[in-house]
Amino acid sequence: MKTAEAARDWLCNPDSGVSAHYVLGYDGTCWQLVTEEMRAWHAGLGAWGSVEEVNSRSIGIEIANTGDEPFPEPQMAALELLLSGILARWSIPPERVIGHACMAPGRKIDPGPLFDWARLVSKGLAVSADPAAPGDFHDDARRFGYRCAPEQQAALLKSFRDRFRPGADGPLCDADRAMMAGLAARWPAA
């Protein structure tokens, strides 16, 4: 969508078949579209850890962004405030804060490589990857929470790197394996 308002309006249109609990505009405006107690249809088909149907067990936040631009300060500040309230209200630990690309690598690509995950980590609203002894990347990814078919391995690597190793490219390497091993050991998905 070209604007946050257009995204909001589409998510409110019954013909769209999609919805979200919240939409955040570039200027930090936050629209609540669905109450947190209700199911929204933001995730589509996707899984995380033992949760096979993410829509039923999540609160969806859509953040207006094209994917190739930085997220502006007012938007990030609004996200921090919103996220801290949601985590407190529902006793959600920071390791359960994921992007759409985490629960459906390849099919979903947001929030993308320019999203400031480190900022959320610094506020205790998300987790970071602390390297451990490199292990089997795909087994550790499953232990951490990623669910991917074998043909989605390239999408998994991109999703992981966008979040935990921004700017990294090339084939799977020991740095990737070490980071994923650390995540799997420290933050095993529930």
Can you tell me which residue has the tokens 């506020």?
123
Residues 155, 88: Cα–Cα separation, whole Å: 32
Q: Is cis: bond before 113, omega within 30 of 0? A: no
Find the catalytic residue in 5, 37, 62, 95: 62
Contact by Cβ (8 Å): 141, 148 = yes
Residues 138, 16: Cα–Cα separation, whole Å: 35
Structure tokens at 16: 């769209």
| Residues in CB range of 93: below 8 A, 6 or more apart | 87
Annotated active-site residue 53? The verdict is no
Rg (CA), the chain: 16
Which residues have a catalytic role annotated? 62
